[in-house]
Structure 1
Amino acid sequence: MKPIQFTNQTAQKIYSDYITRIKRTTQPLDKKDQEEILMELNSHIYEGLLQLDPTNEIENLVNLLDKLGAPEEVLKPLVAQKKLEQATKTFNPKHIFKALALNLSNGVLYIVFAFLYLTLFGFVYLIIAKILHPNQVGLFFKEGKFHLLGIRNSHQVKILELTEVLGYWFIPTMLFIIVVLYILITLLLRMKRKKFTLLHSITMYYL
């Protein structure tokens, strides 16, 4: 991006500070998205200034930036959606949780998705518990019927005459379930994702 040059130093500082705020606001995104947003807003500022009297740079710039809005506010929904797009494309857990954190205020459904991802840690806990207490954790049946997927102490297993049917296959089974559920939840999140453009975001802000 080529920075806009001003003859007035105060106007240059105001512009530079605004660009810095854009960079800070878009920091959660990858470099490509950051650069795209920065170039789009910079172009918007440049084109806006061309339509105004160049003799009063400070007033023109301040009025234009006021209309454009604070980057922390106007870019918030766009950054959240861009991060969500990145997360659902890469399936990276780090990006997933950052995207959900940014979108929690955008609807109850995102809270539901966050809860679904957190439930996967329950399966991780069962794997750890199986390693530590192999006879108390597993898929339990009683008289050929499903009884419990989880934890029972040794006394309950004996009293209730439970049979753990997976043994150490319990661990790869749980890993398989975690992977499958993670993929399915992420695909559902991808379907939910709304596609926003920067122009749309700015237009909605003005409305």
Structure 2
Amino acid sequence: MTPILVDPAAWRRWDSYFAEVDRLLSRAGADAAELRSDLAAHVADSMAAAPGGSELDRLDAALSRLGRPIDYLRPLLADELIERGTRTYSPIMIGRGLFHAIMAGSRRTVIALAFGIGYLLLAIFAAMAALKPLWGEHVGLFRHADGTIGAGIVATVPNARELLGWWSIPITLVLVALLYVAMTRGLRGLRH
């Protein structure tokens, strides 16, 4: 519900505020129109309940009580993107959702950072598997002459023996896929 505003400055303020709301909600999915309508009705009710003053003053007071759209919509947006990402296993949606969760602050930040680091490590492991054919003497699981073991991307060491050979590629990719599914299900479980 949009209030009937007579003051052009109030209209510009309304349009500016709800343009930002619309921009943020464009990523939110199915509930965006209902949420926008609820916000507009809340602002209109708040304006109507405010004591006298110009339309612009009452609108400014209502919008300032509500706050900046990014502050209250970011947690909702994070939840929606993570929900869609964990349902479809889309790394892009999950990444966007985790970004908004980190920016939302509080307990969400710690959880989002932990999952973000986990997904980043999985991407690094997948990249190492892709590098094996190109840089085989440096990528893999190596046992050095002194008995120590090095894994991942390592410097060339004389007398080091590659333990897995080309098997490191499918083993790494299977582990990455399994861990990706497990982490995504864990992230989905945190949401419910």
TM-score, normalisation: structure 2: 0.76
Instruction: State the alpha-carbon separation in 1 of the partners of residues 9 and 153 from structure 2.
Output: 67
Does the alignment pair 1:124 with 2:126? yes
Q: Is the 8 A contact 2:83 2:188 kept in 1?
A: yes
Instruction: State the alpha-carbon separation in 2 of the partners of residues 127 and 56 from structure 1.
Output: 65
5+ residue gaps, structure 1, are 196-207
Does the alignment pair 1:113 with 2:115? yes
Q: For residues 13 and 136 of structure 1, do their structure 2 counterparts lie closer, same or farther at Cα, with a shift above 3 Å needed? A: closer
> Per-residue CA shift, 1:98-130, capped at 9, x if unaligned?
122222233323212111111112212321331
Number of the residue aligned with 2:7: 8
Instruction: State the alpha-carbon separation in 2 of the partners of residues 56 and 168 from structure 1.
Output: 74
Q: For residues 59 and 92 of structure 1, do their structure 2 counterparts lie closer, same or farther at Cα, with a shift above 3 Å needed? A: same
Instruction: State the alpha-carbon separation in 2 of the partners of residues 58 and 154 from structure 1.
Output: 70
Instruction: State the alpha-carbon separation in 1 of the partners of residues 89 and 4 from structure 2.
Output: 41
Q: Is the 8 A contact 1:5 1:12 kept in 2?
A: no
Q: Which residue among 105, 124, 135 is the counterpart of 1:133?
A: 135
Q: Is the 8 A contact 2:74 2:101 kept in 1?
A: no
Mapping of 1:1-207 within 5 angstroms?
3-27=2-26, 29-51=27-49, 57-104=55-102, 105-106=105-106, 107-134=109-136, 136-140=138-142, 147-151=149-153, 156=158, 159-160=159-160, 162=161, 164-165=163-164, 167-193=165-191
> Per-residue CA shift, 1:160-189, capped at 9, x if unaligned?
5x3534x43332222211111111111222
Instruction: State the alpha-carbon separation in 2 of the partners of residues 163 and 62 from structure 1.
Output: 68
**RMSD after superposition:** 3.2
Q: Is the 8 A contact 1:88 1:187 kept in 2?
A: yes
5+ residue gaps, structure 2, are none
Q: For residues 169 and 109 of structure 1, do their structure 2 counterparts lie closer, same or farther at Cα, with a shift above 3 Å needed? A: same
How far apart are residue 135 of structure 1 and its match?
5.0
Q: Is the 8 A contact 1:8 1:58 kept in 2?
A: yes
Q: For residues 151 and 78 of structure 1, do their structure 2 counterparts lie closer, same or farther at Cα, with a shift above 3 Å needed? A: closer
Letter in 2 for 1:7: V
Letter in 1 for 2:73: L
How far apart are residue 63 of structure 1 and its match?
2.4
TM-score, normalisation: structure 1: 0.71
Instruction: State the alpha-carbon separation in 2 of the partners of residues 30 and 177 from structure 1.
Output: 32
Q: Is the 8 A contact 2:2 2:44 kept in 1?
A: no
How far apart are residue 93 of structure 1 and its match?
0.9
Q: For residues 146 and 90 of structure 1, do their structure 2 counterparts lie closer, same or farther at Cα, with a shift above 3 Å needed? A: farther
